[in-house]
Every structure is written in C-alpha cells, then in structure tokens.
Amino acid sequence: MKEINELILPDDLRYSETHEWARADGNKVQIGISDYAQDQLGDIVFVELPERGETFNKGQAYGTVESVKAVSELYMPVAGEILAANSKLEESPELVNNDPYHAGWMIEVKPSAPAELDDLLNREAYLESLKG
C-alpha cells in the first residue's frame, strides 16, 4: 500500500469523502475513484456501472467495484444523468488500478446541480481528510 505522500492526486480534480473524483468539462462531469481508493482496494477484478440515461442523486450508489479484497459501492459526487460509462472496464477492470484518472474513469454525467461540484474537496482538503 502507498504512503500518503506517494498518492497521485491531481490539482484539477474535486474529491468526495467517499473517495470518488470529479472532473468538470464544459457541461459534463467525468467521475472515477481516487488513487487512494484503488490502492486500498487492491487488484480490481470487476466493475459494474450504470446505463446511459439513468439518473442519480448526489451520494446515491451508482455501481460497484470488486477487488480481490472486497466489493465496494461507488457513490455519486454530484447528482445527474449518466451520459456514458467506460465500457473498457468490462474487459479490463485493471485500468482503474493502472490509471484511475484517465483510462480508468468510470462515468460521465450531465450534472443536474453543477454547484454541487463546489461542495467537493480540493486536493489539499482531500489530502488532509486522508491524514485524519
């Protein structure tokens, strides 16, 4: 397992206390799990994601990730409609371990309340929450 100072936590993302990240891109938000989350889970062997068009509230479970250690729920950092799910994860769930912020993204959503992004943690605040 990585030490806190070894974690990759990009500055341009927002983080939830449940270890999801969100990247705003125009009128959509890309979502995945943080380097900390994938590291804690260990080798990821299966990812279950929602269908395009489904809608979820902030904090609602939208899918699951299964590792050799556990099955964990994935939670919406912002409310919205699913625009896309990363279909590459069906055949290659290890992409989440290898590159959680790019190849291993999980979903893209059209946020129903874009201001909810402001409620998420910036890099420094997320790092502090991990230390606590």
Give the tens place of pLDDT for each residue, 71-95: 999 999 999 999 999 999 999 999 9
131 located within any domain? no
- The chain-wide mean pLDDT, for the chain, equals 97
* Cβ atoms of 86 and 106 closer than 8 Å: yes
Confidence of residue 132 (pLDDT cuts 50, 70, 90): confident
Average pLDDT over residues 53-59: 98
31 located within any domain? yes
Give me the number of domains the chain comprises: 1
132 located within any domain? no
Residue 67 backbone phi and psi in degrees, to 5: -120, 180
pLDDT at residue 108 tops 90: yes
Range of the domain at 16: 4-126
pTM listed for this prediction: 0.97
CATH number, position 48: 2.40.50.100
